[in-house]
Structures are given as C-alpha cells and as structure tokens.
C-alpha cells in the first residue's frame, strides 16, 4: 500500500492567500494543484512536503482567453480543458496535438498546465510545447508579478525558477498571423511518457514564389535538450525556403545537439534518431498548416 507520509493540509482561497500560506509555512510547503505528479511522488517518498497548499479552490486561474495579441492560459487550466479549447487549438494546433497524447483522458481531467510546468519532468511534453511557441510564464510573489520566458523557466530536472514563496499563475503566448504548429511524439504505449517528442511552430514569409521561413520554434521533450528547445535548428531554418530537404536538415541539427540518455525507454542513439525524424515531421506538418493544408 502506497500512501503519503504525514502532511498538513491548507486550502488557499485566492492567489494572495496562497502566497501568504507559502510564506507562513516556508520552503517545506508545496503547492497542490491536480496532484497527479505530486501525490505519486509523495507515495514514493520522492517528495515529503510538510504542508500542502491546495490551490484548486482559487477562481480566476482556470481561464483560457485572448488579451490583445496574447493567448493567456491560467495555471489551473486542466489538460482536458486545453484540449477542448477551440481558441487554443485555432492559434496553436501544437497544444491540441500534445494534449491528445499526454497521459489518458481521466488523468487529463485533473492534471493542470501549471503543475506540468512546475513539475519540470525532463520528459514533460508541455515544457517542450511552451518552449517552442515562446510562451512567457507569469509568476506571482508577495511583492508583485514577474514574467519569465518559458525558455528560462527550467533550471534543470524537477527544478524551476519559481521560488518557494511564489506561484505560477499564467502562461502567455504571443499570437502572430501566418503561422502553423504541430507536435509529434513516440511513446511505448498509450499514455506513457515520451521516448522522444518534438514540437514545431513555423511562420512563413510568402513574398516570393517559394515561401521562406521567417521564424521557427522547435521544442524537444525527453532527449536532454537545453531548456527543452533546439535553438541551433531554429537558427538554421530562419530565412530558408520551405522544403522537405530543409526540414530534414533541421531535424538532423536538432538530433546532433540534444543529449539523450539511455533508460528503460530506449538507448541514446535510438532517441537521437527519433529526435531527428520527429522534428522533421513536426516541421513538415507545421508548414502545411501554415499554408492552410493539413498534413
């Protein structure tokens, strides 16, 4: 029987209240959202917080909305809610692609977007996605809010820039017209973590005959990519004409620069091979969507 060890439980009624509780109970307290990463870790004693601060009752953190030219996603938005959001899917199909293959429908009912990012598992799909689309994380502290690019959010495995007395409240994604995005993942079975996964977003400049890439974002999960992104492949793509050959080359660059490790999901060279192939496929599909053709 797996049960967490002794823990105290507090309920936050607002963001301010959560911050007050975090300050009062100190670094040995943990924010409890969906609990689908934290509770399993507590059962295994990989996490042993002294106090849980349940934020599920805070209203206002479960919103998906457009504000100006930004898509805003509250930290308490559940995976299922993001998957159901036509607004999110319209602007970033990569979000829906990824959500369809995160865990299973029951887990997706409760697991949260903010929890996924803060868990900072090296195989987390959404870290790669929000890295690819250059989202910004809004982190609230008692002295106010700060905005941190998701590409600077992770300090390492299971470690983020969110301080013990701070709370991630929202993800903001800039919207630009003319883009397309997609996510490709290989897992051993339904609902499992990625063996490798790649997310891509691409913006095209259609001025000349063959469209060229004006901007690209590539996120990688589970393969030891720094900050979950493939910057070298992004740099290569900028200004290139859209072609399968260019996307294959970008995939190759992404594969060369990631640092997968061998584990029960596969050997490193297999993961590196997958990284190249999945990056190429994600780019092709993203480009097709940018051109209004579903791949």
Partner 1 sequence: MEITMTVNGAEYTRDVEPRMLLIHFLRDELELTGSHWGCDTSNCGACVIWLDGAPLKSCTALAAMAGGRDIRTVEGLERDGELDVVQQGFIACHGLQCGFCTPGMMMTARWLLDRIPDPADAEIREAISGQICRCTGYENIVRSVRWAAAHSRGAAGPDGSGAHEVTV
Does 149 bind partner 1 (CB under 8 A)? Our answer is: no
Among 23, 80, 288, 291, binds partner 1 (CB under 8 A): 80
For tokens 């996924």, what's the residue? 116
Stretch in the footprint of partner 1 (CB under 8 A) among 107-115, 143-151, 167-175, 241-249: 107-115
Among 14, 20, 23, 54, binds partner 1 (CB under 8 A): 54
Q: Are the CB atoms for 180 and 282 separated by under 8 Å?
A: no
Does 107 bind partner 1 (CB under 8 A)? Our answer is: yes
Stretch in the footprint of partner 1 (CB under 8 A) among 99-107, 153-161, 174-182, 219-227: 99-107
Does 39 bind partner 1 (CB under 8 A)? Our answer is: yes
Among 14, 62, 109, 240, binds partner 1 (CB under 8 A): 109
Minimal distance in Å, beta carbon 2 to partner 1?
5
Among 18, 29, 31, 36, binds partner 1 (CB under 8 A): 36
Written as six digits, the tokens of 172 are 């903001």
Minimal distance in Å, beta carbon 7 to partner 1?
5
State which residue, 36 or 227, has the beta carbon closest to partner 1.
Answer: 36
For tokens 């870790």, what's the residue? 41
CA distance 66 to 87: 8
Does 47 bind partner 1 (CB under 8 A)? Our answer is: no
What is the three-state SS of the chain? CCCCCCCEEEECCCHHHHHHHHHHHHHHEEEECCCCCHHHHHHCCCCCCCEEEECCCCCCCCCEEEECCEEEEECCCEHHHHHHCHHHHHHCHHHHHHHHCCCCHHHHHHCEHHHHHHHCCCCCHHHHHHHHCCCEEEEEECCEEEEEEHHHCEEECCEECCCCCCEEEEEEEECCCCEEEEEEEEECCCCCCEEEEEEEEEEEECCCCCCEEEEEEEEEECCCCHHHECHHHHHHHCCCECCHHHHHHHHHHHHHHCCCCCECCECHHHHHHHHHHHHHHHHHHHHHHHCCCCC
Among 141, 191, 224, 226, binds partner 1 (CB under 8 A): 191
Does 41 bind partner 1 (CB under 8 A)? Our answer is: no
State which residue, 8 or 244, has the beta carbon closest to partner 1.
Answer: 8
Written as six digits, the tokens of 233 are 């492949």
CA-based end-to-end distance of the chain: 47
Minimal distance in Å, beta carbon 295 to partner 1?
21
State which residue, 48 or 214, has the beta carbon closest to partner 1.
Answer: 48
Does 86 bind partner 1 (CB under 8 A)? Our answer is: no
Does 110 bind partner 1 (CB under 8 A)? Our answer is: yes
Among 5, 13, 59, 261, binds partner 1 (CB under 8 A): 5
State which residue, 56 or 252, has the beta carbon closest to partner 1.
Answer: 56
Does 35 bind partner 1 (CB under 8 A)? Our answer is: yes
Binding site for partner 1 (CB under 8 A): 1-9, 11, 32, 35-36, 39-40, 42-43, 52, 54, 56, 80, 103-107, 109-110, 190-191
């Amino acid at each position: 029987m797996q049960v967490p060890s002794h823990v105290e439980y507090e309920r936050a009624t607002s963001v301010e209240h959560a911050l007050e509780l975090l300050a009062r109970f100190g670094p040995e307290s943990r924010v409890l959202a969906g609990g689908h990463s934290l509770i399993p870790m507590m059962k295994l004693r990989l996490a042993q917080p002294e106090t849980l601060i349940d934020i599920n009752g805070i209203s206002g953190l479960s919103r998906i909305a457009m504000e100006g030219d930004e898509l805003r996603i509250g930290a308490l938005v559940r995976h299922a809610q993001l998957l159901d959001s036509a607004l999110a899917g319209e602007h970033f199909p990569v979000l829906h692609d990824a959500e369809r293959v995160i865990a299973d429908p029951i887990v997706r009912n409760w697991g949260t977007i903010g929890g996924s990012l803060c868990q900072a598992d090296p195989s987390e799909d959404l870290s790669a996605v929000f890295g690819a689309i250059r989202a910004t994380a809004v982190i609230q502290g008692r002295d106010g809010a700060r905005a941190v690019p998701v590409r600077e959010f992770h300090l390492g495995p299971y470690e983020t820039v969110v301080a013990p007395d701070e709370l991630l409240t929202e993800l903001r994604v800039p919207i630009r017209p003319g883009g397309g995005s997609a996510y490709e993942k290989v897992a051993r079975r339904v609902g499992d973590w990625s063996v490798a996964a790649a997310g891509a977003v691409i913006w095209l400049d259609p001025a000349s005959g063959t469209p060229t890439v004006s901007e690209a974002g590539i996120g990688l999960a589970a393969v030891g990519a720094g900050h979950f992104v493939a910057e070298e492949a992004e740099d290569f793509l900028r200004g290139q004409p859209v072609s399968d050959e260019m996307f294959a080359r970008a995939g190759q660059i992404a594969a060369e620069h990631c640092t997968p490790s061998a584990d029960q999901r596969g050997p490193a060279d297999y993961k590196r091979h997958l990284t190249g192939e999945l990056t190429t496929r994600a780019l092709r599909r993203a480009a097709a969507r940018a051109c209004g053709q579903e791949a």
